Amino acid sequence: MLTLLKIRNLALVHELVWELGSGLIGVTGETGAGKSVIVGALKLILGERADKSLIRTGEDSCSVEAVFELSDPAEINAILEDGGLDACDDTQLIVRRVIGTTVNRQFVNDSPVTLSLLKKIGEHLVDLHGPHDHQSLLSTDRQLSMLDAYAGAESALTAYRQTYRAWREKSAELDELRHAESASEQELDLLRYQLEEISNANLKPEDESDLEDRWRRASNASRLLESASAAAAALNGEDGILEKLGEIQRLVRDLQKLDPSITERTGSLETATLELQDLEATLADYVGELEIDPAEAAGLEERVNLIETLKRKYGPSLQDVLARRDAAATRLDNIENRTEKLETLEKELAAARSAVEGSAKTVTAARKKAAPKLAKEIAAQLKDLGFKQSSFEAPLLSLTEPGSQGMESVDFQFGPNPGEPLLPLRQIASSGEISRVMLAVKSALADQDATPLMVFDEIDANVGGEIARAVGRKMAALGTRHQVLAITHFPQVAAIAAHHFVVEKEVTGGRTRSRLYQVTGETRVQELVRMLGGGGEQARAMAVSLLNP
């Protein structure tokens, strides 16, 4: 769950440090008090693009930091590792955004990340819904994913996708060969020439650097021999360094006989002498190994020139040259053996299609079994939310050709009133209705949804009375399996929350700030009274009754 949210210099918020608990968390406050800042901060954490106008007036930057405690970090760790980041050391994940006037940055566990990677991570952390935030629910692809989660069809769908990808790749390969233009004799000659030229070079990418080293050594053998011999002579020749060191050693031994205490100070002389003797021996060996072979140098130079020529023609790298060889070989093979290849590919495509259809049957069976159960569960949830005589169905529509998600689609149908035809969710005009349908779907899928935090931003708009209380109860039920954050104007919802926070504006030092604080006991009663529309004993009694139903 989200355990900590820090906001600094975002809109009206100067500094907020908010520790959150589990269950249903209610956030209330007057219109314009700053509740939307919390949603805005969470959207930044989810990877939405930032607007510099969010920075508090007079400041250079704003920041948002969120600390999540993950019950199972495996899914998040997989995303982190795919993005080249280290996995979480424990179950804690820290996400931070910094929005500046000149540069924006985002971090996960103190490592910089791209916005796209942050968005991918955010999809697994927070599920945010507002009064106009239902596009995912209206998408038939998203509906199909919900049905598959309910059906437990993920493994069957993974197997299907593997066969589907193989079938599509084989189909594309066959189409390419079928529609390939016939090659001219000039193109065939060019392909044969390129293939022969590159193949005859017997290229090995790993030998390139070694070849250049050998050529450089062979072509500079005379200079190497001259320099190494001169260095060896300077060490061990007449009047060389080692001869002088020998004289110094004799003088030092005389000193040591007269004053043994100097022995410790002159020990480095012996070490230096031994090291220089080793160096002289090494140089002598090196001189012995050097061979001046003009023929070898010429051969190596010819080989280096050949590789450079091929890289200029087909490069720029040796890998590009080899890739060109392979492409020419494939193209030539396809042209010269087109008929045989077509027959082989047609057989392979038929086998791939058969595999797709076989794996699709398993997915279809799971969906057909689960669809009526899911529809029945959502319909029951809708009745709890005030749609006493509504109908809900999840009809499966067969596809004529395999698709990326299987051999069928689904289009959730909803009828709020008896006697009226059921309509697809995208045709529901009322935001109040679609909000409650979304809550019903989320409630039905609560056990399959692994998102740690669900945020409902005033989805109880356009409802009231008992329906608002039913919405609150449904959110509270979700709170037993998820952390749920409800930003609401309804006292019926706020009273059901396990934790109740209030956002209000205050003026300090001539500046307006938003602050957030938790209300309990009498303070919470007073906030509910305000939400009910005013003071008086009747409003107070109503507030107390909401807290103690």
303 and 232 within one domain: yes
- Domain membership of residue 423 (yes or no) is no
DSSP secondary structure code for residue 130 in this structure: -
- Which structural domain range is residue 64 located in? 1-20+29-125+495-516
Pair (107, 214) in one structural domain: no
226 and 301 housed in the same domain:
yes
| Pair 106, 196 in one domain | no
Residue 393 CA: distances (Å) to CA of 54, 146, 147, 350, 412: 43, 14, 12, 36, 6
Q: What is the DSSP code string of 295-337?
A: HHHHHHHHHHHHHHHHHHHH-SSHHHHHHHHHHHHHHHHHHHT
Tell me: do 213 and 119 sit in the same domain: no
* Cβ-contact 206, 212 below 8 angstroms: no
**432 in a structural domain:** no
Q: Does 539 map to a domain?
A: no
DSSP 55: B
Is the domain of 191 the same as that of 117?
no
142 membership: H or E segment, kind and range: helix 140-151
Note whether 252 and 328 are same-domain residues: yes
Q: For residue 146, is it within any domain?
A: no
Looking only at the bridges linking them, the beta strands covering 92-100 and 13-19 are: unpaired
Q: Within this chain, do residues 83 and 213 fall inside the same structural domain, yes or no?
A: no
User: Does some domain include residue 56?
Assistant: yes
The answer to whether residue 471 is domain-embedded is no
Which residue do the tokens 């012996």 mark?
270
- pLDDT at residue 218, as a whole number: 65
pLDDT of residue 462: 63
Same domain, 190 and 323: yes
Q: Which of 501, 464, 543, 514 is nearest to 24 (CA)?
A: 501
Q: What is the DSSP string of 528-545?
A: HHHHHTS-SHHHHHHHHH
Among 338, 359, 326, 339, residue whose Cα is nearest residue 167: 359
Per-run averaged pLDDT (10 residues), the chain, 549 residues: 92 89 91 82 88 86 92 83 83 91 88 90 81 64 87 92 93 80 71 87 71 66 69 78 83 84 82 84 75 66 78 83 87 75 89 95 96 94 87 93 92 87 80 77 81 80 72 87 88 91 86 88 92 84 88
In a domain, 542, yes or no: no
Whether residue 458 contacts residue 130, with contact meaning beta carbons closer than 8 Å, is answered with yes
Cβ–Cβ < 8 Å for 107, 122: no
Pick the last residue of a domain from 336, 356, 372.
336
Count of domains forming the chain: 2
Judge if 324 and 218 occupy the same domain. yes
Of 304, 336, 368, the position where a domain reaches its end is 336
Would you state the pLDDT for residue 134? 47
In the three-class reduction of DSSP (H, G, I as helix; E, B as strand; rest coil), residue 14 is classed as strand
Does the reported pTM lie above 0.75? no
- Whether the CB-CB separation of 417 and 437 falls below 8 Å is answered with no
Domain CATH for 55 = 3.40.50.300
The reply to whether 534 falls in a domain is no
Q: Clarify whether residues 116 and 239 are in a common domain.
A: no
Residues 116 and 208 in one domain: no
Cβ atoms 415, 386 nearer than 8 A: no
